[in-house]
Chain A
Amino acid sequence: MSYQSDDVSNDTVDSYSAQHLDNSSVQEANFLDDGGSAAQQSHSEINSIDPYALKEVVQRIRGAEEPETDLEFCYSDSESCQEELSQFYSYFEQEEVLSCKGAFLSVASSRLSGPTVNWCQLSASQKKDMVQFLLDNLDNANRPKRIRALQALLYVAQGCWGETCSQEELRIRAKTNCFRLLAIGVLPFLCEHLSRVAEHDAYEMLSDSQDKLEDDQYGYNEPTFQSNPETRCCLDVLYHLVEECRRVEEGEGEFEIENRQRLYQELADPMTGEENLATLLFSMLLRFCNGSAPSLPVKKVLLLLWKVILTSLGGTEELDKKKRAAREGVGLVGHFDESRLAVPLPDFILQPRDPDELAREGSRVRPNEDGPQLMPKIRRTEMEAFLEMVQSRFVGFKCGPAALGGELLGDLPEAIHDSLKVLEQHLYIPLSELQIEREKYLQLIPPLSPNLFPKVTTPYSKQQLDLCRLAPSFPSPTELLYEQLLPQLPQFMIALLKVLLAATPTKNKTESLNIYIDVCPSESQVNAMSNIERRRVELDVHRYTEVVVKGVSSILFLLLKHFKLNHVYQFEFVCHHLVFANCIPLILKFFNQNLLQFIYSKSFINSLEYPACLLYPPKLEEELELGDGDEIEEGEGNYLSWRNMFSCINLLRVLQKLTKWKPSRTMVLVAFKSAQILKKVLKIRHPLIQAYALKLLKMQTRYLGRNWRRNNMKIMSSIYQSVRHHLHDDWAYGNDLNARPCDFQSLEMSLKQECDQFNHWHYGLGNPSLQNIEDSTPDEFVAADTNPVSVLAEAKTEYDEGFLENWEKWVKEEVVTAGPTSRWDNLLSY
């Protein structure tokens, strides 16, 4: 079977899996070997064999090999504000950020004509005036002047670190300043400026490459760090504003709360045209990926995009709340708590396999005593299948789904009644089922009589289905985002995946984008560096890559989660394009690295992190010493990288979301030997990671064959223990006989068609199934033209002779002579 689709095949992320499933296993083996060998290498871009790096790698592996207890890691939407801000800057930028202070002082002293300007001592109106003056400067034609103004704004947003030397105080000041900037209205203005500048930087770079700007301090010859100072600075300020103001903290006044509302509003508002900030960032990303703007600082774009999505759509807590509300809204009760998943696995799973031991362990498998068991679920379709089965066995004919109500069950044995009762207790109706049912009947409503409820066999009432419609008058932020992304959604998804691929350590290096523009000096500079400096750059690149993965993974995760909740077809549409862009093999490829090394990677230097490097700028020698000594390598035994754990969990969950209940996609997992990779993932001793890895394993066990199951009894039993059961799901024993390739193809296709229909119905996007008809009879589907001007211009109206003879006379008498006294209004009332 082939996943080549008509329109996206040219853009697929990576060619390695273009025709994967029907080919021989040689290809698959290649893929794994390739990844495996690459993982052994140090996975940074600048790849010289460096004794320090080698030592570090060895120590990390040694230190990380045998974790004894569960990892201490708590999943949340993001790290602390400080960490998040710090990761926004690469070490390479330090000098530039340091220059902000000078920019601010020079602008401020020119404005206020004081010798030294202290932001804190300015009055409120002076501050406002200063900010407006800076904004005014952004319209200036002089580029360095604009950059200076942006830097000054950045300095204010950072909390004016020149005026204090305590980190704690800086944090408070930064927050206050950001709220003030927000209140003055900096955000929409900057968004607008960003949309101009992002084009501009790229444009200047392409058009003025050689001649015009030789003497300019910002060269445009090749995409380097220097070619995007304005975009970068603009993103910096925006990021500070969003990141500082989105966090709800205790003890906030009305001012903060009010301005946070304003932030939500402004992120949703369109800028100059129709698009809002999130859409702008997506299109920036797209331009970066298709090569028309190679100089964009992609990490910053990603991080800002992530935060914008997180702010406007909400994080996990918000999601949970929304889900409850949505389910209650349509009268579905029962919310199965997912957080109970976090039960640690029994120890034996991590020990070496030994048949005798296994037998002993197997006998000891016990129900989990630590927490309550997950309540098993059953889907309506499964229940119906069961009912059909018993009916055909005992009654001899099928009554269809209507029988679920209970009228036709009389003749069945008592035991069946009991089991149906039990099943009903565990029946779980997902919101998506209602949404799908509603779409089904929407498609059947004749367009001219919308009040007719067509006769569809659906287990739900019209009222219930109507409740889960998309509210058109007050579109939620999710709905707004979907609407805006829709025209280019496939390309956006591909762009995200391309960046993820470029940041995957096991990639083929030649194929990918260069995402390292704002972290890497040019090659000649690197060559001129000392070993230690080079080491620092290497570490910086490493850190940068991790942050990019973190950004992409959480954007994907949030988008899937929110679209799923908003409407299942929105979710399916996104999923479909992700799958066709080879997202599944890509994520597997990502996990096919040395994961333990990845989660224990300690790629940072404390003194170079963001506020510290400004408050106490490390002298060159100190910095060198740091790089030189063993400090970086040693750390405290097992330093666990929060961001890498976070990325792992997000990617696993994305993978699970893509493949859940989709046999066709599960087959992709099987074809790429994901079981082997997932087994390695299980070595990370964290309940969440293990739970999702087990879920992914569970869905494919039936395809893996009896041998695999026999050899992996430990995994089977831990799935049994810690993954929720579906009654009637014979995952452990069944050999799926329906697993025929043609079925999968048609499954994907019908899903795609349903999504297209959904998009056509709700967003007027061209419906491919109608395309042929439109070609033949164009008039039928075009809206009637009701504009009098164009209708009159087009049609040759034929006037009768009487009119043609007399109209001049009429105008003369009735209009010209009668003049303003004529009662035109009366004419209308006839």
Chain B
Amino acid sequence: MAESFLRNRRGSKKEDLYLWRQYNALELDTVLTAQLYLQEMIREQPNDIDKMIECPNGVEENLWVYEHMRQICLQLNALSVHLQSCCIPTQCVNMQADGDEVYLCAVHKKPKECSAIDYILHTLDGSCSILNNTKLFPSRVTVKSGSMQRLESTARRLYRIFGHAYYRHREVFDKYESQTKMCLRFTKFALKYDLLTMDSLTIPVEISSIIKQENNNEDDVTDKN
């Protein structure tokens, strides 16, 4: 089989998925190196989150964050599928997370208080369209630092999806989290790359390892006061 065909063929059975020959993504000559590497790692070592979020050599850090965000959006779709069965618009009328705060759906021109499941789907769609905006992210090899701040607001909004699942649909969340460790990965990732701050976290995950990192990251050159 030609080596450049790193994709699942149509009609493959579930057990045959991703059964292509081992390769080292970082050595492949393709613009999608970072994505391939990340996906490979998620398949091969799903539990080694620290390594997963560590930016590999030869990949630009901004790009790495960007690829992670793409991947998270991809995988969060699975959570939304799980939620669809229990998060019913008549029950979760508003998007709420831990407190009583109701969030506005940011995708619409006229801000709307969408039901939670709509909020989740709209936010995922909105995030995808930001990530796929060719003006903001024209390349898959390098990402300009100006565009990085879009990722922060995207991250904040995506985090609310976890929050909603955790506080309103705990069973689904636990099941999903035990399978994918997504929330843990997202939290660690966002803290490491400064997309969220420690105080804005609302979901208790194994924080001990995170705190260590946080101390290392204590900034800051920009402080002038």
Contacts and interface: CB of A to CB of B under 8 A. Distances in A.
B110 A120 contact: no
Nearest to B135: A270
Q: Is the interface of B mostly helix, strand, loop or mixed?
A: loop
Given A141-B94, A183-B222, A255-B222, A196 B111 contact: yes
Contacts of B198: 125, 129
A158 to B, nearest CB: 15
B223 A262 contact: no
Q: How large is the interface on B (under 10, 10 to 19, 20 to 34, 35 or more residues)?
A: 35 or more
The interface centre, meaning the residue of A133, A180, A269 with most chain B CB atoms within 10 A of its CB, is A269
Interface string B140-157: 000011111110110011
Contact of B219 (A125, A132, A255, A265): A125
A271 to B, nearest CB: 9
Interface in B149-168: 149-150, 152-153, 156-157
B104 interface: yes
A141 B147 CA distance: 27
A758 B36 CA distance: 45
Contact of B104 (A127, A140, A176, A180): A140
B12 A124 contact: no
Interface string A782-824: 0000000000000000000000000000000000000010001
The interface centre, meaning the residue of B5, B126, B149, B150 with most chain A CB atoms within 10 A of its CB, is B149
Nearest to A258: B145
B103 interface: yes
B44 interface: no
Interface string B96-115: 00000111101111110100
B117 to A, nearest CB: 16
B130 to A, nearest CB: 8
Nearest to A263: B146
A708 interface: no
B110 A270 contact: no
Given A196-B106, A825-B1, A140 B219 contact: no
Contacts of A185: 148-149, 152-153
Contact of B156 (A124, A127, A132, A173): A132
Interface in A178-227: 180, 183-185, 187-189, 192, 195-197, 199-200, 203
A139 B146 contact: no
A129 B152 CA distance: 12
Given A125-B219, A185-B149, A188-B149, A176 B225 contact: yes
B139 interface: no
B222 A124 contact: yes
Nearest to A128: B197
Contacts of B147: 269
Given A129-B200, A140-B103, A140-B104, A123 B223 contact: yes
B12 A820 contact: yes
Contacts of B135: 269-270, 274
B225 A120 contact: yes
B87 to A, nearest CB: 18
Contacts of A579: none
Contacts of A199: 109-110
Interface in A97-115: 111
A399 to B, nearest CB: 52
A328 interface: no
Contacts of B197: 125, 128-129, 132
B146 A262 contact: yes
A140 B101 contact: yes
Contacts of A129: 197-200
A689 interface: no
Interface string A221-264: 00000000000000000000000000000000001000000100
B133 A270 contact: yes
Contacts of B219: 124-125
Given A135-B153, A255-B222, A141 B103 contact: yes
Interface in A657-701: none
B223 A124 contact: yes
B212 interface: no
A188 B16 CA distance: 44
Contacts of B102: 140-142
A136 interface: yes
B9 A820 contact: yes
B199 A189 contact: no
A397 B187 CA distance: 85
A78 B225 CA distance: 29
A754 interface: no
B213 to A, nearest CB: 13
A141 B104 contact: yes
Contacts of B211: none
The interface centre, meaning the residue of B11, B111, B145 with most chain A CB atoms within 10 A of its CB, is B111
B14 interface: no
B174 to A, nearest CB: 25
Contacts of A120: 225
A266 interface: yes
Contacts of B150: 188
A190 to B, nearest CB: 10
Interface in B175-222: 194, 196-200, 218-222
Given A142-B102, A820-B12, A132 B200 contact: yes
B161 to A, nearest CB: 13
B2 A825 contact: yes
Contact of B106 (A124, A133, A192, A266): A192
Contacts of B7: none
B78 interface: no
B136 interface: yes
Contacts of B218: 125
Contacts of B43: none
Contacts of B21: none
Nearest to A137: B101
A331 B153 CA distance: 47
Interface in B1-44: 1-2, 5, 9, 11-12, 16
Contacts of B94: 141
Contacts of B145: 262
Contacts of A272: 107, 126, 130
A200 B223 contact: no
A197 B94 CA distance: 20
Given A125-B218, A139-B104, A820-B12, A189 B149 contact: yes
A716 B196 CA distance: 70
A648 to B, nearest CB: 38
A120 B225 CA distance: 6
A195 B222 contact: no
B105 to A, nearest CB: 9
Nearest to A259: B222
Nearest to B223: A124
B160 to A, nearest CB: 8
Contact of A196 (B2, B110, B130, B220): B110
A139 B103 CA distance: 6
A180 B156 contact: no
B128 to A, nearest CB: 13
Contacts of B220: 123-125
Nearest to A824: B9
B153 A176 contact: no
Contact of B196 (A132, A195, A196): A132
B16 A820 contact: yes
Contacts of A127: 223
A269 B143 CA distance: 14
Interface of B: 1-2, 5, 9, 11-12, 16, 94, 101-104, 106-111, 113, 126, 130, 133, 135-136, 144-150, 152-153, 156-157, 194, 196-200, 218-225
20 contacts: A123-B220, A124-B222, A125-B219, A125-B220, A129-B197, A129-B199, A140-B103, A141-B113, A185-B148, A185-B149, A187-B149, A188-B149, A188-B150, A189-B149, A199-B110, A203-B110, A262-B145, A269-B136, A820-B16, A825-B1
Q: Which 6 A-B pairs have the closest CB atoms?
A: A185-B149, A124-B220, A265-B146, A141-B102, A129-B197, A124-B223
